[in-house]
Structure formats: structure tokens, C-alpha cells
Amino acid sequence: MTRTSCSEQQQAESTPPPASPSACMLLELHPLKDIVNLDLYSPLFFFHDDDDDDATRTTKCCHHHYEKQQQQQQLLQHRHNNHSVAMTLPNFLLPHAIQRLVQESMTNLHKAFYTPKDHTHNVYLTPMDPTLGPTHAYNLQVTSTKGCIQTDQLPSDSILLTLYHNEDFKRFLQRLLGVEGLYPYQDPLSSINVHYASEGQELGWHFDNSSFAITLLLQEPEDGGVFEYVPHVRHSSKQEQEEVKVEEEDSQYGNKKAMEYEMVEKILGGDIVPETLDIKPGTLVLFRGKDSLHRVTKVIGNKTRILVVLAYNEKPGVALSEEARRTFFGRTGMEAEDAGK
């Protein structure tokens, strides 16, 4: 079992967010073993066999733990759903880590920026197209009402900063996602967000702009707040559009088959029953939402739903656009710098 040294970790961190604590400092504050259930997940973190693919490695992980602790049934929950659209890893965080993060999140709740109640958006998270009618699927509006705090609002000793920058954790994610590298956002707001949804608040139907999302549920509500999704609704990449090859369905607003406007309209109209993910506090979720429409239903009750989003890029030096930061965070994160100009 090989662990990454502090010097190696500092060299590997190519684009850390501004003013963040060093990876070594965070590792010393919160060792990975005090955050993640390594008794359950260590084979997926540290089991290396270059001749095995991810499915074989996961199978060996399950077999290893069955022999060691009779936990095969629990580990079998590490499943890919609907052709790798979603993967849930229950009990990923240790109970005391969850408790600490819930306390930290509630302490910082007053810092959260909430999307205005009158704000609506389409499922593509783009401006409306005036050349299309208001009832066209592209222009149909949904509501998102939730709050969030951004990376620069986290305490400097937060467990979330430790986990996010940990090289073993990033390699673990890279293997599961099948990507070669993971890098933080270049701007100071977008890498780690804590989302809050209280009574009546929701996240409307949408496609993600990024290829994948990584989330940790910290606290579930009394009722509602269910993650719903419909897999493989559209084919957004050029390669997938070429594979569709439906020339007669091309139009002035794109390839109809690639965008699947008809299916979007049916989903928003309630004519298609979505899939759901059973997510409990401490569960790590890897979700490919770029082409799978998804939402979080309205929260019911007095208990706030708290969810952490860990956002990475496959290339270094990427920042969320200033327009997107103003929309979702209420600021760009560069206000002090701009004021000095």
C-alpha cells in the first residue's frame, strides 16, 4: 500500500485555488483515515493492478472485504446504474466526519447566496432563444430555489479542503471516472460548493455543463429532496451527434435528435417516470449529468438538505465564467481585485 508523500503531493497540485492552505498542511490537519471509511474502501483507493480494469478491481475489492469482514453485500452497492450514468458509494464518509461537516455547514448557513425566487431557467442553462416559441422545449422554464456557499467561504481547516486536494482521493476518482487528470477551478469560488435546500426549495430539471459531478450528501431532509434523473436524454458531443446520423432532423437550432426536445418536453410534462437515487448521509455519488436530465424535488419539513459538490476539470486553468458566477453565486470572487483597479 503506497501513500503519497507531502513533497510529491505539493508537486502534483498544479493549479490550487488562490489562498488555499497547502495540501501538506491539510493532510496533517485531517488524515484521510479520519475522513473516509478506508476499512470499507481502501482496496479502491490503494489496490493497484495495472492489468485489471475498473470492473475487475471493484470485484476484487468486494471479494477482499467479504473474506476480511463479511461486507460483500454492502460493497455490492458500489454499482454503476444505467450504463455508468450514476455510481453511489454508501458510507463513504465516517460518522464523525459527517457530524463535523454538518455542524460546519450550519454554522456557515448565513453566508449562503440564494437564487432569487423569481429566477427561472431552461434545462440547458442557457438564455432563451427568441426565434423559437415560448412553449418550445428549449425555452420551457423551470425553477431552482436553493442556497450555496463557495470555496472561499469555507473555514481554512475544513475537512472538505483536505479531501478535495488529497492526491489519493483524486486518483481514486480518476480510476472510477476513467479520466487522466483532475484539476481544481482556477477561480476562487467554484471548486467546492455547499448547497442548502430548506422547506419548499428545489433544484429544477437541467443538464450539467460538465461531463461529471461529484457530490456528498451530509444531511437528508425529513421528506422530499429526492434526486431524480432520466438517463441518456440527449447526445451533446460532436462524436455522439455523428453517431446519431439523422440528417433530416437537423434544424436552425441544432440536431433535434441530439438535443431530444420531444423527450425533454415529455419529462417536464410528467409523461416519463424518472429514475431515483437512494442517497443517505455520507454517500459519495458520481453522476454524469451532461446528457442525463436531472433534478432535486422540493424539500418537505424543517430539516435542511445539505449537499457538497466537489467540482473538478479534466484540464488545468479552467475558470467558471463571470456570468455564471454572478448568476449562481451572486458575485465573481474578484470584487476586491476589481475595486483596486
Condensed to tens digits (0 to 9), the pLDDT of residues 142-193 reads 998 989 999 999 999 999 999 999 999 999 999 888 899 999 989 999 999 9
Residue 197's pLDDT is: 96
| Interaxial angle between packed helices 54-69 and 167-177, expressed in degrees from 0 to 180 and rounded to the nearest 10 | 120
Condensed to tens digits (0 to 9), the pLDDT of residues 263-307 reads 999 999 999 999 999 899 999 999 998 899 999 999 999 999 999
| Per-chain mean pLDDT for the chain | 79
How large is the average pLDDT for residues 130-141?
Answer: 93
Tell me which of 244 and 286 has the higher pLDDT: 286
Distance CA 281, CA 95 (A): 9
Tell which residue, 234, 168, 137, 127, has the closest CA to residue 13.
168
Tell which residue, 144, 143, 135, has the closest CA to residue 265.
135
Residue 27's pLDDT is: 52
How distant, in Å, are the alpha carbons of 37, 55, 281, 295 from that of 84? 23, 11, 22, 18
Exposure letters 151-166 (e unless 16+ CB within 10 A, then b): bbbbeeebbbbbbbbb
Tell which residue, 160, 176, 126, has the closest CA to residue 288.
176
pTM value is 0.78
Q: 208, 328 in Cβ contact below 8 A?
A: no
Tell which residue, 107, 19, 101, has the closest CA to residue 310.
101
Contacts (Cβ under 8 Å, ≥6 apart) of 330 = 113
Residue 82 dihedral angles phi and psi, to the nearest 5°: 50, 60
Own/partner pairs, 46-51, CB within 8 angstroms, 24+ separation: 46/1, 46/2, 46/3, 46/168, 48/2
Distance CA 267, CA 230 (A): 8
170, HSE (Cβ side, Cα atoms, 13 Å): 21
Residue 42's pLDDT is: 83
Distance CA 241, CA 246 (A): 9
Distance CA 299, CA 226 (A): 8
Q: Using DSSP bridges, classify how beta strands 250-251 and 305-310 pair: parallel, antiparallel or unpaired.
A: unpaired
Judged on CB neighbours under 10 Å (0-12, 13-18, 19+), 212 is buried
Q: Using 50, 70 and 90 to split pLDDT, how confident is the model at 211?
A: confident
Condensed to tens digits (0 to 9), the pLDDT of residues 15-37 reads 444 444 555 555 556 789 999 99
Residue 77's pLDDT is: 42
Q: Of the given ranges (107-116, 237-246, 294-303), which has the lowest mean pLDDT? A: 237-246
Residue 125 region by backbone torsions, left for phi larger than 0, else alpha for psi between -120 and 50, else beta: left
Q: Using 50, 70 and 90 to split pLDDT, how confident is the model at 43?
A: confident
Q: 135, 103 in Cβ contact below 8 A?
A: no
How large is the average pLDDT for residues 117-141?
Answer: 89
